[in-house]
C-alpha cells in the first residue's frame, strides 16, 4: 500500500486577503489628501498592511485571490502615491518614470506568462528588503523636503524614490 500525496487546494480568500484589501481604499484616498503628514499616515498604513498580510499568508497559508489581489493592491497604491507626489514637483520626473516603468515591465511579464500559460512564481528575496529600504528612504526624503517648504527632494542627486513603492513587487509569491 503506497502513500498517496494529497494535493492541498488553496482557499479563495483568507484573513491576509482582507488585510490586503485595505490598501485599495487607501490608494483611492491618497490623491485627495494634500497634507504631507496625512499622506505619510496613508503610506505607513499601506506599508503595515503589506507587511502584515505577507506575514499572515506565510503563517496560515495563501489563497488564490491573494495571489492576484496583493500585487494589484501594491501597484494601485504605488501608482496613486507616486503620481500624486509627482504633481507636487517634489520628485524628479525620471524618478517617477523609473518606479512606474519597473512595475509596467513586471506587469507585462506577468500578462505575457499568463497568455502563454507558463505561470512563474517569483519568491520574495533579499531584493524585496532592498526595495522596502529604498521606499522608506523615499518617504523620509519626501517628508524632509515637504518640511523645508516644498523644495524638490533629492536635488543634490540623492535619487529619492528610485525603486521605491512600499515594497511593491517585493513579494510576487504569497
Best CA proximity match to 85, nearest among 71, 95, 75: 95
> For the whole prediction, is pTM greater than 0.85?
no
Pull the grid cell for residue 11: 482557499
User: Could you report the per-residue pLDDT of 4-63, keeping only the tens digit for each?
Assistant: 555 566 777 888 999 999 999 999 999 999 888 888 889 889 988 988 988 898 898 888
Q: Between the CA of residue 57 and those of 61, 107, 132, 165, what are the distances in Å?
A: 5, 22, 18, 20
Best CA proximity match to 138, nearest among 50, 29, 43: 43
Identify the helix (H) or strand (E) that includes residue 101.
Answer: helix 93-115
Identify the helix (H) or strand (E) that includes residue 143.
Answer: helix 126-147
Amino acid at each position: 500500500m503506497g502513500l498517496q500525496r494529497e494535493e492541498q487546494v488553496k482557499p479563495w480568500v483568507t484573513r491576509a486577503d482582507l488585510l490586503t484589501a485595505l490598501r485599495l481604499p487607501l490608494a483611492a484616498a491618497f490623491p485627495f489628501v494634500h497634507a504631507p503628514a496625512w499622506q505619510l499616515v496613508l503610506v505607513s498604513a499601506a506599508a503595515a498592511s503589506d507587511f502584515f498580510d505577507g506575514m499572515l499568508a506565510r503563517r496560515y497559508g495563501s489563497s488564490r485571490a491573494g495571489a492576484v489581489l496583493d500585487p494589484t493592491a501594491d501597484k494601485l497604491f504605488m501608482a496613486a502615491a507616486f503620481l500624486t507626489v509627482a504633481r507636487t514637483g517634489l520628485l524628479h520626473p525620471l524618478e517617477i518614470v523609473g518606479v512606474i516603468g519597473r512595475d509596467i515591465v513586471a506587469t507585462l511579464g506577468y500578462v505575457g506568462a499568463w497568455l502563454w500559460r507558463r505561470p512563474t512564481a517569483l519568491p520574495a528575496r533579499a531584493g524585496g528588503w532592498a526595495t522596502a529600504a529604498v521606499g522608506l528612504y523615499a518617504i523620509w526624503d519626501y517628508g524632509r523636503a515637504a518640511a523645508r517648504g516644498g523644495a524638490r527632494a533629492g536635488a543634490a542627486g540623492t535619487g529619492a524614490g528610485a525603486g521605491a513603492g512600499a515594497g511593491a513587487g517585493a513579494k510576487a509569491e504569497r
